[in-house]
């Protein structure tokens, strides 16, 4: 216990240690919780679990759950199964919770990840009753040092009425020093955010705590859930290859150097594979300014390709976690973790000129992208940071495989069934077939490029048939509106988007 208490260096907090069970009893029906955690990293683990245990023992209550992004440690799964969620925001990626959202059993607000703290600051969403934040320690001068993610923890600490701290002794203390906390003022009373280089520190090493708000401190000892990324396959490697070809053309044209511009890469297997593709490329002295650092970034650091990486969370596979935390000194001066409103801030993304690579579920012949809704209605994960980055980056790139479900779904459709990123925010689309550079092209110029370079050959004729019929009707962006969703309807009714030509319903 003495060793644990040493993690609480602020003397006035030492006597606030409680059990997770006791802390969980403070939470009442109708409250709003702000939980640390971003893409399975740095989530509060013990108090949320104790809260689920209350529900399993028969208590009936519901809470609103705000986080940084998705949670690990099965928290979202247990919350969903226990039926204790009224509203969840701004992101999740958990199958049981996804089902509950899609059956309407609880509400989900799918939010740009840089927006949550602004909405709290403006008082525009329910305020937080309890922030429950994972930390590795609290310093003498009252700074909470987060663990493997920062996410929204700073905003939750700032705007919550009460704070519960979970000090996780399984998280490496070596993380102290990699965080950089900065909180902008109210809008209307704000200076430019003084960050002009990805490796710049602009704030404090931890989250400044209002000691009076700290109601309890709980000790835990549990590693983060490892990431679930699958290794690159043939198709994701081909996507990476095409993306590298596009970047090479940019270098040839003198628009980029071989060090490119700061890279952002989204979540998921495809985005991870794309970064992996950089390892054996000629690109060098790369810098990452992203929201999640997955395994590939550390492989790139090891390969001497990436000099510096800034993000708001570290989400690693089990083996990578062991390796990175086992030799953290090697990485310490190459990493900064920031709050998600800074990692995803439009002002900074535009200033730094990011190359943003995110994944689409589907895109259409004009370049609109759907990243969230399967067949236009069923939530997958959420928009996450993809909108923050795509809209404001120098190059907004979307990648996807050209077909899904063994070819019964074409990821290139006449009209996306849900729009997350409009044609105005999308610069380049890439599949395993090739890439289409849409910059400066009118809608009618984009169509041939998208069909011929990106669509799977088995769907090209069908796309041409749709477009040719649309052309007969004219317009800046020609469509046959009554057939625009015929591909999705065909999949629902016949299990495939493949239709006999001249028979699009």
Q: Which residues are catalytic?
A: 291
Q: x/- binding map, residues 22-61, to ligand COA, per CB under 6 A?
A: ----------------------------------------
Q: x/- binding map, residues 411-430, to ligand COA, per CB under 6 A?
A: x-------------------
Shortest gap between Cβ of 412 and ligand COA (angstroms)? 9
Give me the DSSP letters along 331-357. Answer: HHTTEEE--HHHHT-HHHHHHHT-EEE
Shortest gap between Cβ of 80 and ligand COA (angstroms)? 17
DSSP 3-state assignment of 8? strand
Q: Which of 85, 120, 270, 348 binds ligand COA (CB under 6 A)?
A: 270
Count of CA atoms in the C-beta half-sphere (13 A) of 316: 17
Residue with the two structure tokens 């003498």: 140
Nearest by Cα to 243 from 338, 355, 375, 164: 355
194 burial via Cβ count (<10 Å: 0-12, 13-18, 19+): exposed
Residue 72 CB neighbour total at 10 angstroms: 27
Shortest gap between Cβ of 252 and ligand COA (angstroms)? 29
Radius of gyration of the chain (CA): 23
Which residue lies nearest ligand COA, judged by its C-beta?
A: 268
Residue 108 CB neighbour total at 10 angstroms: 21
Shortest gap between Cβ of 384 and ligand COA (angstroms)? 3
Shortest gap between Cβ of 292 and ligand COA (angstroms)? 5
CB closer to ligand COA out of 320 and 418 = 418
Residue 65 is encoded by which pair of tokens?
Answer: 């759950």
Shortest gap between Cβ of 274 and ligand COA (angstroms)? 10
45 burial via Cβ count (<10 Å: 0-12, 13-18, 19+): buried
DSSP 3-state assignment of 41? strand
Restricting to residues 277-296, name those near ligand COA by CB under 6 A: 291-292
CB closer to ligand COA out of 144 and 314 = 314
Between CA 318 and CA 398 the distance in angstroms is 28
Phi-psi region of 62 (alpha: psi -120 to 50; beta: other; left: phi over 0): beta
Binding segment for ligand COA (CB under 6 A), chosen from 1-9, 141-149, 189-197, 261-269, is: 261-269
Angle at 224 between CA 223 and CA 230, to 5 degrees: 125
**Phi then psi dihedrals of residue 213, to 5 deg:** -85, -15
Q: Does 450 bind ligand COA (CB under 6 A)?
A: no
Q: Does 404 bind ligand COA (CB under 6 A)?
A: yes
Binding segment for ligand COA (CB under 6 A), chosen from 265-273, 320-328, 460-468, 470-478, is: 265-273
Restricting to residues 324-383, name those near ligand COA by CB under 6 A: 358-359, 361-362, 371, 374, 380-381, 383
Shortest gap between Cβ of 293 and ligand COA (angstroms)? 10
CB closer to ligand COA out of 116 and 220 = 116
CB closer to ligand COA out of 166 and 420 = 420
Between CA 222 and CA 57 the distance in angstroms is 24
Please work out the total of residues on this chain that contact ligand COA, with binding judged by CB under 6 A: 24
Residue with the two structure tokens 């690990």: 72
CB closer to ligand COA out of 218 and 484 = 484
Binding segment for ligand COA (CB under 6 A), chosen from 138-146, 155-163, 401-409, 435-443, is: 401-409
Q: What is the DSSP letter of 379?
A: E
Shortest gap between Cβ of 399 and ligand COA (angstroms)? 8
β-strands 355-359, 63-66: how paired?
Answer: unpaired
CB closer to ligand COA out of 21 and 235 = 235
Answer whether 321's CB lies under 8 Å from 297's CB.
no
Residue with the two structure tokens 């020609």: 478
Q: Which of 384, 396, 414, 434 binds ligand COA (CB under 6 A)?
A: 384
472 burial via Cβ count (<10 Å: 0-12, 13-18, 19+): exposed
Q: Which of 146, 151, 266, 277 binds ligand COA (CB under 6 A)?
A: 266
Q: Does 89 bind ligand COA (CB under 6 A)?
A: no
Answer whether 156's CB lies under 8 Å from 131's CB.
yes
Q: Which of 78, 80, 311, 409 binds ligand COA (CB under 6 A)?
A: 409
Shortest gap between Cβ of 387 and ligand COA (angstroms)? 8
Answer whether 111's CB lies under 8 Å from 143's CB.
no
Q: Does 67 bind ligand COA (CB under 6 A)?
A: no
CB closer to ligand COA out of 206 and 268 = 268
Residues that bind ligand COA (CB under 6 A): 266-270, 291-292, 358-359, 361-362, 371, 374, 380-381, 383-386, 401, 404-405, 409, 411
């Amino acid at each position: 216990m003495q060793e644990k208490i040493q993690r609480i260096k602020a003397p006035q907090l030492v006597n606030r240690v409680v059990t997770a069970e006791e802390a969980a009893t403070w939470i009442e029906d109708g409250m709003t919780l702000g939980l640390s955690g971003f893409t399975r990293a740095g989530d509060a683990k013990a108090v949320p679990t104790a809260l689920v245990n209350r529900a399993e023992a028969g208590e009936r209550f519901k809470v609103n759950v705000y986080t940084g992004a998705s949670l690990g440690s099965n928290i979202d799964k247990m919350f969903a199964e226990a039926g204790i969620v009224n509203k969840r925001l701004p992101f999740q990626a958990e199958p049981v919770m996804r089902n509950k959202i899609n059956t309407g059993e609880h509400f989900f607000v799918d939010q740009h990840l840089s927006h949550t703290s602004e909405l709290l600051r403006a008082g525009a969403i329910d305020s937080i009753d309890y922030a429950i934040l994972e930390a590795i320690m609290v310093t003498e001068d009252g700074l909470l040092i987060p663990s493997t993610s920062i996410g929204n923890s700073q905003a939750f600490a700032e705007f919550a009425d009460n704070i519960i701290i979970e000090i996780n002794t399984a998280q490496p203390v070596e993380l102290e020093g990699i965080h950089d906390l900065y909180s902008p003022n109210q809008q209307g009373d704000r200076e430019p955010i003084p960050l002009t280089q990805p490796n710049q520190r602009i704030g404090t090493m931890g989250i400044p705590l209002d000691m009076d708000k700290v109601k309890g401190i709980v000790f835990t000892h549990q590693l983060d859930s490892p990431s679930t990324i699958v290794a690159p396959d043939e198709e994701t490697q081909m996507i990476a290859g095409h993306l590298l070809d596009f970047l090479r053309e940019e270098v040839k044209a003198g628009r980029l150097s071989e060090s490119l511009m700061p890279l952002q890469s989204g979540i998921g297997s495809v985005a991870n594979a794309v970064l992996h593709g950089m390892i054996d490329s000629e690109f060098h002295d790369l810098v990452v300014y992203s929201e999640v650092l997955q395994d590939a970034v550390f492989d790139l650091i090891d390969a001497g390709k990436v000099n510096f990486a800034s993000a708001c969370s570290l989400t690693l596979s089990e083996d990578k976690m062991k390796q990175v935390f086992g030799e953290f000194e090697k990485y310490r001066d190459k990493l900064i973790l920031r709050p998600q409103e800074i990692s995803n801030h439009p002002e900074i993304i535009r200033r730094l000129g990011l190359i943003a690579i995110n994944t689409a579920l589907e895109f259409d012949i004009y370049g609109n992208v759907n990243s969230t809704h399967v067949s236009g209605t069923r939530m997958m994960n959420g928009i996450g940071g993809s909108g923050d980055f795509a809209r404001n980056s120098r190059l907004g790139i979307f990648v996807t495989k050209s077909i899904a479900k063994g070819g019964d779904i074409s990821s290139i459709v006449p009209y996306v069934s849900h729009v997350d990123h409009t044609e105005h925010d999308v610069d380049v689309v890439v599949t395993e077939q090739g890439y289409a550079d849409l910059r400066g092209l009118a809608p009618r110029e984009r169509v041939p490029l998208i069909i011929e370079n990106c669509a799977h050959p088995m769907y090209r004729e069908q796309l041409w048939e749709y477009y040719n019929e649309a052309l007969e009707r004219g317009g800046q962006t020609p469509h046959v509106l009554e057939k625009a969703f015929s591909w999705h309807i065909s999949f629902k009714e016949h299990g495939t988007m493949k239709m006999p030509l001249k028979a699009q319903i």
